[in-house]
Structure 1
Amino acid sequence: MGEKKELAKKEVPLFWALLPLLIMVATMIVTIIYLEQGPHIPLIIGTSIAALVAWKQGFKWSEIEEMMYKGIRLALPAVVIIILVGIIIGSWIGGGVVGTMIYYGLQIITPSMFLVTITLICIVVSLAIGSSWSTMGTIGVAGMGIGLSMGIPAPIIAGAVISGAYFGDKMSPLSDTTNLASGLTGTDLFVHIKHMLYTTIPGILIALAVYGIIGMNYKDGSIDTASIQQTINALEESFVISPWLLLIPVVVIALVVMKVPAIPALVIGALLGTLSQVFIQGDTLATAIASLQSGFVIDTGNEMVDNLFNRGGLDSMMYTVSMTLVAMTFGGILEYSGMLQSIMNQILKAAKSTGSLVASTILACFTTNATCSEQYISIVVPARMFASTYRKKGLNSKNLSRALEDGGTLTSVFIPWNTCGVFILGTLGVGAFEYAPYAVLNFVVPIISIIYAFTGFTIQKLTEAEIAELNKKDAELLAETAN
C-alpha cells in the first residue's frame, strides 16, 4: 500500500475550536470534583465532541480516525515506559530494593530535613539520567515510602519529588525535552541550558526554602517515633535488608549515564530486581513473575507497611495506559484538524511586546498540555508557531527555547489527563490537584520567566552578525528549494 497522505489542516472558527475543550473541562470538573470518578469518560466525551466538530468542518470519518491514531502513535513511547515502570516497581519491591532504601532512609534522614533531602537526591539522579519519569518511578517511590513513614502527607512529598525530578529533566543535556526544545529552535544545546539557569536556579532555591520551612513542622519531637520504629521492625521481618541491594538502582542510573536507552536500562533493572526476589529474598519464581504482572503482595499486620508495598506490576499501570490512550485521541483530533491552531492564533494576536510574547508562549505551552495531553506536543507546536515571531522581533532563539521549557516541560504535571500527570498518579499515587500547591519549582519558574520578559532581564537580542547569518541560511535554503 502507498504511504498515507498528510492530513490537511483547515481553518476552524474559534468558537468551534474551543467547544470540545470547554465541554471536556466542564465534564471533567463535574466528574472528578462532584462525582469523585476518574477522568476517562470526560476525555471520551471531549473526543466525541471534537470528532463531531471536525466532521462539521468537512473532514471525512476516515480522516478523523487517522487523527486519533496519529495522536495515539505519539504516546506509544510513553506507554512503553509506563508499563516498564510498573514492572520495575513490582520487581524492586519484591526484591527488597525499595524496602532497603526506605529502611536506611528512615535511619539516616531526619524528618525536618527530609523534603529538602529528597528534592536534592532527585535533582542529582535526574541530572545524571536526564529523565524525570525514571527518577520518580524509582527514587520517588522510595521517597514516598520514607516520607509517609515519617508522617509527612503524600501530596507534600510528591511535590518535593516532582520539583527535584523536573529540575534535572529540564537542565540535563541527556534530557529528551531539553534536546527537543533546543533542536526545534536551532539553539545550541549548552547555550539553551545556560540560558535556563537564570529562571531555574532561582526557582529551585525558592522550592528548597519552602520545603525547609514546611519540614520544620515535622521535627523529631512532633512525629510518632514509635510508628517509625514499628515500620523498621516490619521491614526487617519481611525482607532481607542489605546495602548491596542499593547497587541495583545504581546500576540502572549508571547505564543511563552511559547513554544506554531508557527502555533496555529499565528492563535490566527489572531483571535484577526479579533475580534478587528469587535468590536473595527466597521467593519462588512464580511469586516473582506474579510481582511483575500483578504487583507485590504482603501482609505484615502493619497497615502502613502493607499500604506501601502492596503495589507495582504491569496490571497497576493499565489505568494509566488507558487514560494516556484516551487523552491522545482527544489531542490528536484537536491537533490535526486545525482546532488547536485556531486557539493558538488567538493567543499569538496578544503578543505585541517582548513581555507579552514570552507570556503568550508560556500560555500556549500550557494550553497545549491541557488540550493535547502530551508534554512533547507542548514544545513542538508552540515552537513551530512562535519561531518566526521571535525572529521578526529581533530576539535570539534561546529566549524561545527557554520559554518552551518553562511553559511546556514544567506545567505538564498540573494537567491530570496529561501523560505526565497520569504517570505521576500511577507511580506516586497522588493526583495533580493534590500535589499542585507543593510542586513549587513547576509553577514558580514560569512566573519568573514572565517577570524577566516584561522587565527585559536576561532577554537576549539578535546581534547584527547573527541576523546576517540567519539571512544567509534563508537564502541558501531558498536556492536549494528553487533547484
Structure 2
Amino acid sequence: MFLELCTLLLFVAVLVAALAFKVKLVFAMLAGLAFFVGYALVRGHGVRRVLAMCGRGIVTAKGILILFVLLGLLTALWRAGGVIPLMVVHSVQFIHGSGFLLAVFLLNCAMSLLTGTALGTAATVGVVCATAGHALGVSPCWVGGAILAGAYFGNRISPISSMALLTANITNTDIYANVRRMLKTTWLPLLLSCAIYLVVGLCGFANDLSGVAGDSIYASDVAGNFSAEPVRALFAKEFSLSPWCILPAVLMVILSVLRVRSSRVLLLSALAALPLAFVIENHSLADVLRAVVFGFHAHTPELAPMINGGGFLSMLNVFWIVVIAGCYAGIFKETGMLTPLKSAVEKIAARTNSFCATLVASCVTACVVCNQTLTIILTHQLTENLDTDSAPGTTKLCDADKSSDKPNAIVKNESHALDLYDTAVTVIALVPWSVATAMVLAAANAPASSVLCACFLYLLPICRLV
C-alpha cells in the first residue's frame, strides 16, 4: 500500500508542477508513465510484460484515438467548406450581448442531449460558439466553461450517449430508467447554472473586448445588441456563405438521432463538406490537403483569429495524451495497483455515505487515469460493493423504488448507477489534464482555465451533497 500511495502522490505532484510552471502536459504524463513502469518492475514484472501491459492498454483506447483523427478532419473541412462561417454568421444575429453565455450553455446542452456526444457537440456548436464569442468580445474562459458544461450535460443524461450506456451496462441497469432518475438530480443544478451564466452576462463580468479584432467591426449599440452585418461582411470577403454549406451539420444531427456510431457520423459529415470546399468555396486540392493536415488558415487577417484551426496536427497533443493514458490503464489493470484504495473508499463510505465515497473515488481516479471511460470503470470497481444504506439520507433518491416490488439488489444497482452518473461521468471533465476535458477545449480552442467556469459540472455533485 505504501509503494502504491507514494507512486500516485509523486505522479500528482508532477502534474501540479507542470500546470504551475506551464509545462506541456505530455511531458508530465511521460514522467508519470516512468513512475508506473518503475512500480511494475519493482513488483516483479519483467520488462517485456510491462511493455505488453502498455500495448494492451493502448489497444483499448484505439476507438478514442480514431475519434481524434476524425475530429481533426472534421474541424478542418468544416472550415474549408464554409460550414462554420455560415453557422457563425446566422447565429450572431440572434445573440444578445448580455445573454450570450446563457445561449452558449443551452445550445451545447441541446446538441449534446440530441447527439449524446461531448466530442461531436464541441466540434460543431462548440466551435461556432467559441468563434462567435471571440467576435463578440466575450472571455474565452467563460465561453469555454459554458461549452464544456453544456457538452457534458448530454454526455451524462442522453440515452444515446456511449458513457451513459457504459454506466448502465456495468451496473446492470436500464438506461431509460436511469435517465428518469437523473432528472431528479439535474433540474436544480441546471437552473442554477442558467442563472449564473445570465447574471455574469448581464453584469458584464465576462467582457473581454481586448480580444476582438477591431472595435469598429464588432461594435454594439447602447443596448448591447451586436450587429450581424459587419460580421457577415467580414466573412463574405473569403466565404460564399451559401445555404448549401449547412448540409454537413444537418447530416450530423440526422445521423446522431438515428444512433449511427460517432466515428461514422464524424467521417460522413466531414466528407459531406469536401465537395463544398471544392465547388462552393473554390479551394484547390492542395489547399484542402494542407487544411486537413496543418489546419485551415484564412487569407484575411481579421478572420484569422476566429476561423483558423482544425486539422490533424491540432489533435496531436491530445492524441499522445490518450496513448499515454492507455499505457496507464494497462499497468493499473494487470498490476492491481489501485486495489488497496478499495478499503480506503469503504472507510469513507462508513463514515459518510456511499455518494461521498463515490465522489472521492471518482475525483482521485479521474486525476490519475485522465480518461472518462477508465474513470467510470475504475470508480465502479472501487465502489460497487458499498452499502447504500451505510448512512442516513443516502438512498432518499430511491425511496419510490424501495416501495415497489423491486428486489434489493436491483434497487442497490440503480442507486449505485445514479451515484456514478453524478460523479465519475462528469467529474472527469473538471480535470484540466484529462482526455475528456482536453478534447472539448481543443475543439473549441478554449483555455484550460475554462474548467473553472463549467458551473453545471460543479453544481451537480454539490447539490447532491447538500
TM-score computed with the length of structure 2 as normaliser: 0.88
Q: Is the 8 A contact 2:329 2:374 kept in 1?
A: no
Letter in 2 for 1:328: G
Higher helix fraction (1 or 2):
1
1:387 to 384, 389, 412: 384
**Distance in 1 (alpha carbons) for counterparts of 2:412 and 2:341:** 25
| Paired position in structure 1 for 2:464 | 449
Equivalent residues of 2:431, 2:451 under 8 A apart: no
Following the alignment from structure 2 to structure 1, what is the Cα–Cα distance between the partners of residues 436 and 293?
Answer: 23
Q: Using the alignment, how far apart are the partners of 2:90 and 2:147 within structure 1?
A: 18
1:262 counterpart = 2:278 = no
Relative to structure 1, is the Cα distance of residues 313 and 239 closer, same or farther in structure 2, using a 3 angstrom cutoff?
same
Partner of 2:187: 201
Displacement of 1:145 in angstroms is 0.3
Match of 1:249 in 2: 249
Q: Deviations over 1:288-318 (max 9, x none)?
A: 222222211112131xx20222211112111
Q: Is the 8 Å Cα contact of residues 173 and 417 (structure 2) preserved in structure 1?
A: yes
Match of 1:300 in 2: 300
Is the contact made by 2:118 and 2:440 (CA closer than 8 Å) also made in structure 1?
Answer: no
User: For the Cα contact (< 8 Å) 2:297–2:309, is it kept in 1?
Assistant: yes
* CA deviation after TM superposition for structure 1 residue 392, in Å: 7.8
Structure-2 residue corresponding to 1:21: 8
Determine the C-alpha separation between the residues in 2 that align with 1:405 and 1:202: 15
What is the rounded CA distance, in whole Å, between the counterparts of 2:99 and 2:431 in structure 1?
29
TM-aligned CA deviation for residue 343 of structure 1:
2.3
Residue 370 (1) aligns with residue 367 (2): yes
Query: Aligned letter for 1:405?
Result: Y
Gaps of at least 5 residues in structure 1 are 1-12, 452-483
Pick which of 313-322 and 414-423 moved more.
Answer: 414-423
Secondary structure of 2:283's partner?
A: coil
Partner of 2:105: 119
Is the partner of 1:58 in helix, strand or coil? Answer: coil
What per-residue deviation string (whole Å, max 9, x for no partner) do you get for residues 259-303 of structure 1? 21111111111111111110101111221222222211112131x
Residue in 2 aligned with 1:478? none
| Distance change in 2, residues 1:201/1:271 (3 Å) | same
In structure 1, the residue matched to 2:413 is 397
Q: How does 1:297-336 map to 2 (within 5 A)?
A: 297-302=297-302, 305-336=303-334
Partner of 2:393: none
Offset at residue 218 of structure 1 (A): 4.3
Deviations 1:6-42 (A, max 9, x none): xxxxxxx2x21122222222222223322x2201122
What SS is found at the alignment partner of 1:390?
coil
1:32-71 equivalence runs, <5 A: 32-34=19-21, 36-71=22-57
- Paired residue type of 2:11: M
Distance 1:206 1:79 in 2: 35
Q: How do residues 205-284 of structure 1 correspond to structure 2 at under 5 angstroms?
A: 205-218=191-204, 224=215, 226-227=217-218, 230-284=230-284
**CA–CA separation in structure 2 for the residues paired with 1:31 and 1:125:** 34
Q: Which amino acid aligns with 1:212?
A: L
Identify which range, 70-79 or 93-102, moves more after superposition.
Answer: 70-79
- Counterpart of 1:414 in structure 2 is 430
Q: Distance in 1 between matches of 2:357 and 2:323?
A: 28
Question: Residues of 2 paired with 1:343 and 1:66: CA distance?
Answer: 24
2:339 to 334, 338, 341: 341
The number of residues matched between the two structures is 433
Distance 2:87 2:100 in 1: 14
Q: Which deviates more from structure 2 when the two are superposed, residues 417-426 or residues 275-284?
A: 417-426
* 8 A contact 1:331–1:371 mirrored in 2: no
- CA distance, structure 2, for counterparts of residue 112 and residue 243 of structure 1: 28
Q: Which residue of 2 aligns with 1:87?
A: 73
What does the per-residue CA deviation read over 1:92-131, in whole Å, with 9 as the maximum and x for residues that have no partner? 0011111111111222211111111122111221111111
1:5 — aligned with what? none
**2: distance between equivalents of 1:275 and 1:244?**
11
Residues 208-217 or 17-26, more deviating: 17-26
2:399 corresponds to which residue? none
Q: Which runs of 5+ in 2 are unaligned?
A: 210-214, 220-228, 391-407
Matched residues in 1 for 2:93 and 2:372: separation? 37
User: Contact 1:32 / 1:39 at 8 angstroms: preserved in 2?
Assistant: yes
Task: Note closer, same or farther for the CA distance 1:222–1:271 as it changes in structure 2 (3 Å cut).
Answer: closer
Q: How many Å separate the matches in 1 of 2:24 and 2:75?
A: 23
Which residue of the partner structure matches residue 454 of structure 2?
439
C-alpha spacing 1:368/1:70, structure 2 compared with 1 (3 Å): farther
* Alpha-carbon shift at residue 225 of structure 1 (Å): 6.2
Q: Which one-letter code corresponds to 1:336 in the other structure? A: E
Tell me how far 1:230 sits from its aligned partner: 4.8
| 1:55-110: CA deviation from partner (whole Å, max 9, x where unpaired) | 21222222222221222122211111111111100000011111111111222211
1:222 to partner: Cα distance:
10
The answer to whether the Cα contact below 8 Å between 1:421 and 1:431 also exists between their aligned partners in 2 is no
For residues 392 and 37 of structure 1, the distance between their equivalents in structure 2, rounded to whole angstroms, comes to 45
Moved more, 378-387 or 292-301: 378-387
Letter in 1 for 2:262: A
Kindly provide the amino acid, as one letter, of the partner of residue 247 in structure 1: L
- State the TM-score, normalizing by the size of structure 1: 0.85
- Separation of aligned partners in 1, 2:124 and 2:156: 18
Q: Residues of 1 paired with 2:439 and 2:277: CA distance?
A: 25
Q: Partner amino acid for 2:36? A: A
Identity of counterpart residues, as a percentage? 24
For 1:200 and 1:448, the matched residues in 2 are separated by 9
- Partner amino acid, structure 2, of 1:296: F
Q: 1:171 aligns to what?
A: 157
Bigger shift: residues 224-233 or 355-364? 224-233
8 Å contact from structure 2 (residues 376, 420) kept in 1: yes
Shift of 1:235: 0.5
For residues 386 and 311 of structure 1, the distance between their equivalents in structure 2, rounded to whole angstroms, comes to 41
